[in-house]
Structure 1
Amino acid sequence: MMDLAYQDWMSALPEELWDIPLTDLAIPGSHDAMSYCLDINSPLLRSESDYFRLLDGLFYCITRPLILKWATTQNKTIEEQLSMGIRYFDLRVAHKPNDPSSDLYFTHVIYTHLTVLETLVSVLNWLNSHPKEIVILVCSHLEGMDDKCHESFIFCLKRLFGSKLCPRKEPNLSLRSLWASGHQVILSYDSQITARHPELWPAIPYWWANKSTAQDVISYLDWHKDLGRPEGFFIAGLNLTADRSYIAKNPKESLQMMTYKNWECLRKWVEQQIPGSDPKSFNIIAGDFVGSLPLCSVVIPLNHRLLQRSSGQMKKLFKFIKPDSN
């Protein structure tokens, strides 16, 4: 049964947090959010190596099940992820080679069944039913797209989301301000073309460890934390990565098994984190299989630590204010 306890978690936050920028809140995210609908019969991505392309051509019946086992990072639909509380979505967009249509698809090694626009219509419909929830959509990779394709896609995005798009120079990113303006979508577009469109945000930094164990991922994230958080939005990725030698040595395993096996260690680490503007604070925390694993119920409650910190600062302030003896 789907957990809907956090489907409206932003509007349910204490009012004391409504004026804090989204960049200082703890926000749960979905890494490679659309990989639940990969099409096993689609072509390989253009960026895959010639060697892998050759293997795929010769041993298709072996490579394709392996691709699904290791490229699938989510098992819930985007509507389900939204309803469970996910508010950041990693969307990898591409145009298929030799496709005469203008349709765009999501990708991870191969392409998805669902097109980009039909999926984003579903996101829009969900937002219309949840007018106080804000989402951060990151369109990246953008393979096989020329300038004409980019401009056509951006035109569709603007027409689809309209006034819900929050411009990148928005001076106040607090929930209260966004609710007042009707903005519900922060749309990052990982291309230099973004400069021409004030409705689009540039690429958002993603801390990706590229490691296969929870301990290595945590070491990488702690190292980044010691260097200090970037200004604005940024993502700490909990997602594990298996290289091809790991996959070859573990033929019975899958990314889902690897993720589940490491979850408890990652969960304990997340529970120790603090959102906010401090150099060592966190903002968006993204992971794999976010519907099956309780990422939202671990990340969202971290925001209450902002209340505790605020209360502690007030106590310190009052301690130094001496009562008037007259």
Structure 2
Amino acid sequence: MEGPLQTSIHVCHENGQWMSRLPEKLWDIPLYNLALPGSHDTMTYCLDKNSAVSGNESKLVKFLNKCMPCIVHPIIMKWSTTQVLTVTEQLEAGVRYLDFRIAHKANDPSMNLYFVHMVYTTVTVQDILWEVLRWLETHPQEVVILACRNFDGLTKKLHCRLTACIKEIFQCKLCPRNVVPTLRTMWQRGHQLIVSYEEDVQVEEHCELWPAIPYWWGNKTATRALIHYLEHMKRMGRPEKFFVAGINLTENLRYILVHPFGSLKKMTLQSLPCLKIWIKQQYPGPKKECINIIAGDFIENNDFVKDVIELNTKINPPLHCQSKGAGTNSISFSA
């Protein structure tokens, strides 16, 4: 276990500043027309083994977990964990889209917010926001997209508290949604963070929040079925701005019963060779079948991040988008 983890963290540091190394010809292209690596369910590396099942889960799951916790809870943990690297390690690995599923624990009298994927995390949202800020401060030319999604148990008061917390922590690093988010513009203005928020009222009230980013979720247990879904979505046409193509497989009860010794990690690792081929065939850009963010599980495996970043080498912007001296910088990719 120790060897692979050390290797993953080594890879992280080598890709930690890939945006700053992009060639100048890409500095004036909106980020929603670049290829950006993302992590699906970013915070599941710190799920609480002693946590209650979240309020959004079915009554059956809650009942089984209550009656047979020694059996059911380990199964939940095996199929809920999608990442093993911390948020800082993911950012160092080159991930630039963070998928934050935010929740308030049922019957919790405090205002603390946590992350959730069937069960709650050990860390609070506020602690992780500060961690992201610390990373941004040491990587001034990197830009991160933070997607706040799937709010579980948040009242209007809690939404207001969360948005106030985001604004207080990140301040001028937040990119307002009326800005065309190119690297050059964001660098000039000191913006480093785009926050999408899956709650329309808050978005309307705060110019620092961007609307929810569409996520292409296949909800498939088989790799070929997932690729078929993604290709179908591409034929339908990409959204105008940010969107995510999720290459994450999703288990269901039948799959778990058929694979009693399985886990989401095993399921994911088996799919990666086929998905790697699909990723390498993609093109970023504004055209109908182009991609933008590609998000996956266990992002440290199979050169996922590197493969997504390298898609940007396929971009050839029009001459009027290139400044004088463009092309003098180049990006180097880490293995």
TM-score, normalising length: structure 1: 0.93
Distance in 2 of aligned mates of 1:197 and 1:203: 13
Name the counterpart of 1:299. Answer: 308
The question of 1:235 aligning with 2:244 is answered yes
Match of 1:175 among 183, 203, 213: 183
The question of whether the paired residues in 2 share the 8 Å contact of 1:168 and 1:201 is answered with yes
Amino acid at match of 1:89: L
Alignment of 1:29-108 (within 5 A): 29-108=38-117
Match of 1:223 among 216, 232, 237: 232
The question of 1:13 aligning with 2:22 is answered yes
SS of aligned partner of 2:315: helix
Amino acid at match of 1:33: T
Q: Could you tell me how far 1:249 is from its partner in structure 2?
A: 1.1
SS of aligned partner of 1:34: helix
Amino acid at match of 1:49: S
Stretches (4+) displaced over 4 A:
none
Match of 1:111 among 120, 138, 145: 120
Amino acid at match of 2:190: G
Distance in 2 of aligned mates of 1:294 and 1:107: 27
Match of 2:197 among 189, 212, 217: 189
Q: Deviations over 1:155-176 (max 9, x none)?
A: 1110000000111111x21100
Q: Could you tell me how far 1:139 is from its partner in structure 2?
A: 0.6
The question of 1:203 aligning with 2:203 is answered no
Q: Could you tell me how far 1:251 is from its partner in structure 2?
A: 0.4
SS of aligned partner of 2:42: coil
Name the counterpart of 1:25. Answer: 34
SS of aligned partner of 2:275: helix
Distance in 1 of aligned mates of 2:223 and 2:79: 17
Q: Could you tell me how far 1:292 is from its partner in structure 2?
A: 3.1
The alignment of Structure 1 onto Structure 2 pairs a total of residues equal to 310
Greater CA deviation, 270-279 or 292-301?
Answer: 292-301
Distance in 1 of aligned mates of 2:181 and 2:84: 31
Name the counterpart of 1:286. Answer: 295
Amino acid at match of 1:264: P
The question of whether the paired residues in 2 share the 8 Å contact of 1:80 and 1:291 is answered with no
User: Percent identity among equivalent residues?
Assistant: 47
Distance in 1 of aligned mates of 2:302 and 2:40: 13
Q: CA separation of 1:72/1:288 partners in 2, compared to 1, >3 Å: closer, same or farther?
A: same
Q: Could you tell me how far 1:141 is from its partner in structure 2?
A: 1.2
Q: Could you tell me how far 1:310 is from its partner in structure 2?
A: 5.3
Per chain length, whose mean CA-contact separation is higher, i.e. which structure has more relative contact order (CA < 8 Å, sep 6+)?
2
SS of aligned partner of 1:28: strand
**Structure with bigger gyration radius:** 1
Name the counterpart of 2:331. Answer: none
The question of 1:161 aligning with 2:163 is answered no
Distance in 2 of aligned mates of 1:39 and 1:291: 22
Distance in 1 of aligned mates of 2:224 and 2:82: 19
Q: Deviations over 1:220-276 (max 9, x none)?
A: 000010111011000000000010111011001110001000100000000000001
Distance in 2 of aligned mates of 1:220 and 1:8: 32
Name the counterpart of 1:247. Answer: 256
Amino acid at match of 1:164: K
Amino acid at match of 2:70: C
SS of aligned partner of 2:162: helix
Structure 1: tracts of 5 or more residues without a match: 315-326
Distance in 2 of aligned mates of 1:155 and 1:243: 37
Distance in 1 of aligned mates of 2:78 and 2:303: 21
Structure 2: tracts of 5 or more residues without a match: 1-6, 323-335
The question of whether the paired residues in 1 share the 8 Å contact of 2:55 and 2:106 is answered with yes
Name the counterpart of 1:275. Answer: 284
The question of whether the paired residues in 2 share the 8 Å contact of 1:75 and 1:292 is answered with no
